[in-house]
Chains A and B, each alone.
Chain A
Amino acid sequence: MNLNKLAWRNIWRRKRRTLITAFSIGFGVMLSVTFTGSGDYTYTNMIDMGASMGMGHVTVEPPGYHLKPTLDKRLTGTAKLQQQIMALPGVAGATVRITGQAMFASARKSVGGAFIAVDPEFETAQNNLLLRSIVAGSMFAESSGRGMVIGSKLAKKLKVKIGKKVVYTTTDAHGEIVSDIARITGIFTTGIDIVDGIMALLPISSVQKTLGYAPDEATLIAVVISDQRHAEGMRDAIARLPAAADTAVMTWKKSQPDLAGVIAFDKAGNYISQFLVGLLIAVGILNTMLMSVLERTREFGVMMAVGMSPGVLFRLVMVESFWLAIVGLLLGVIITAPWYYYLYHTGIDFSGAFGSDFSYGGVLVDPVFKVRLFKESVMAILGGVFTLALLAGLYPAWRAGRVPPVESLKTI
């Protein structure tokens, strides 16, 4: 009989104990899937949401603009660079934008805010959160027109409605104060108070004229990619483009440090929770394996007496840990699958606890608790739990081969 077969039979000597331990491993898998799946889903959601709020997953901008965003710093030859970026695999969209601060004034009130000047031809609901959050009116159609889309709270402060005129005042490329007029074509509500309270979309060609920019000058190109996990690779690929010389290329982590900080902090908490879950699993397995080894001390003595070496005995107990881990993982998959299916498709709605502001770290978050596991997370969970089970078996296995046979045989 080989070691695998013997170890398999050994773990079923005490069925109830093995099943309890296997279920604890299984529940560990379920918790780990819930924590990790929530992280994978929420972080991706937040990052994608953040990217669609103006800066993209990867941002191309003039050197130094990130530290001091003034309108005298600008990219040139944006059309060519945009074309080269769009040709890269994995790019979902690349939009040329001008971002800046402005004073908005209606006939009744003036309010400080910020604008994003965009070309409606390249803006889509996928790459622009404000566009997909329009609740009244519509996006302006021409980049050289005088349309304007503003946040609902900003509209409320200005006491304006669709069709009303708003004057925006800002500083141009030379530091001079300039103004222009726009007419409101749409109003958006993102659910993020600060965005709804200060932001406005303006047509890029009109803003370029107002600021004294050439037609292919802008402050940034926001690049949205199909998978946020590849942002670093995309940053490097863009930086290597000939047209990207003399530009600064950065991922969302640098362009949105608040969001990166919130995610890093949340991840750290998640890791601690997972560590504690892992510890509980490991203690359970250690306890089971240790009891199993201690109650078989005499049997191990017999095995050693007839010629089994301490090394082979160590392997036997490790193989038992292996089988226990496999059974636990299988049970984990069985009990986790329906739970995961429910959370993936339906989720748990926490919107009642959020109030009206669904923002966290400056971006909109989904108030419905959902999960989504990346392949690498699945591998990490299965590999992690499996490794943990084997590590927990190390001490009992070492102990099994350590007692001299003559002492083992004396035990009852």
Chain B
Amino acid sequence: MKVESDMKPIVSMQQVVKTYRQGKVDVHAVNNVSLAIRHGDFAVLCGPSGSGKTSVLNLIGGLDVPTSGRILVDDVDLSTLAASELAEVRKNRIGFVFQAYNLIPVMTAYENAEFVLNLQGVSEAECRERVMDTLKAVGLEGLEQRRPDEMSGGQQQRVAIARAIVTSPAIVLADEPTANVDSHTAESLLDLMQQLNREQGITFLFSTHDQHVMDRARRTIRLHDGKIESDEISD
């Protein structure tokens, strides 16, 4: 089924182009992409290596700036923002889950999850309540004081998910979140994210090669050579 909706999008990419210079050649990592992600989406960006999945995630996440076109996140035009303003958008509206977990090794699970709330200036009492609730929601109750090197890969990725959702962001961007874990752990992580999407209405956008992830997605956006090849919602 082709995606069509009148609902106001959380993310809107409008004719976005991202060109990198490699030696003397211009590479169009993202080539005139227009895309809308709506509240409650559980969508995947898929496609072969070099198709532009990560570039699209980086652009939506404000980690990179487009060569041309506009990107709106919660009605904020990212293409007009300075580095510090982009950091504000990331802090308050976007959650990130990375392939390699990327937890801060000197912090416990609790502190990693608390990190962004501290950046937001949330009070200690509120931090504690939200972090404990979130760690419970991702199945890490009792492991709050463990450091990353004391946890399995699946547990570390759960901490990363907790860090991404604890601020109630407009969207969670997950770059191949199951690529570094075994299939059993991958299934349980997908269960968790699906549950968070269903029960808490958190919007997820993944980039993946993993067929299991694609099978779970309600919307599949297929990229090829920096362009959207197809964008479909499963029934």
Contact = CB atoms under 8 A, between A and B. Distances in A.
Contacts of A305: 61, 63, 90, 96, 98
Interface in B81-114: 83-84, 87-88, 90-92, 95-96, 98, 102, 104-107, 111, 114
B88 A310 contact: no
A309 B107 contact: no
B115 A1 contact: yes
A306 B118 contact: no
A10 B105 CA distance: 9
A409 B98 contact: yes
Given A405-B63, A406-B63, A311 B58 contact: no
Nearest to B164: A306
Given A1-B107, A2-B118, A409-B63, A309 B88 contact: yes
A142 to B, nearest CB: 81
B98 A307 contact: no
Contacts of B58: 406
B76 to A, nearest CB: 14
A310 B90 contact: no
A400 B71 CA distance: 27
Interface residues of A, number: 23
Interface string B51-62: 000000010010
A337 interface: no
B158 interface: no
B144 interface: no
Contacts of B98: 302, 305, 409
A247 to B, nearest CB: 66
B119 interface: yes
Given A307-B119, A405-B63, A409-B63, A302 B84 contact: no
A405 B83 CA distance: 10
A302 B63 contact: no
Interface residues of B, number: 28
B119 A312 contact: yes
Nearest to B104: A299
Nearest to A306: B116
Contacts of A306: 90-91, 95-96, 115-116, 119, 163-164
A1 B90 contact: no
B117 to A, nearest CB: 10
Nearest to A312: B119
Contact of B106 (A13, A307, A409): A13
B64 interface: yes
B106 A6 contact: yes
Interface of B: 58, 61, 63-64, 83-84, 87-88, 90-92, 95-96, 98, 102, 104-107, 111, 114-116, 118-120, 163-164
Given A302-B102, A305-B96, A409-B98, 20 more contacts: A1-B107, A13-B105, A13-B106, A302-B96, A303-B104, A305-B98, A306-B91, A306-B115, A306-B163, A307-B87, A307-B119, A307-B120, A308-B87, A309-B84, A309-B87, A310-B84, A404-B63, A405-B63, A406-B64, A409-B102
26 contacts: A1-B114, A6-B104, A9-B106, A13-B106, A299-B102, A302-B98, A302-B104, A303-B104, A304-B90, A306-B90, A306-B91, A306-B116, A306-B119, A306-B163, A306-B164, A307-B116, A307-B119, A307-B120, A308-B87, A309-B83, A309-B88, A310-B83, A310-B84, A311-B84, A406-B58, A406-B64
